Amino acid sequence: ACSFGAKLGVPVYKFLQEPLERKYGAAWYAELSREIENPSA
């Protein structure tokens, strides 16, 4: 996933969105995305 995502220029967490949402839920993934894109120091 890491090397294929790198080839596509996609961050790993975005490349793995579907399996992460299946495992942890959409709310968890949304919070992860928010924190990565806008860290709250």
pLDDT tens digit string along 1-13? 667 666 778 888 9
Where exactly are the structural domains of the chain?
A: 16-41
Predicted pLDDT of residue 1? 65
- Cα 37 from Cα 22, distance rounded (Å): 21
Amino acid identity, residue 23?
K
Contact assessment for residue 13 and residue 36, using Cβ atoms and an 8 Å cutoff: yes
Q: Is the pTM of this model over 0.95?
A: no
- Cα 16 from Cα 41, distance rounded (Å): 25
17, HSE (Cβ side, Cα atoms, 13 Å)? 9
Among 4, 39, 1, residue whose Cα is nearest residue 20: 1
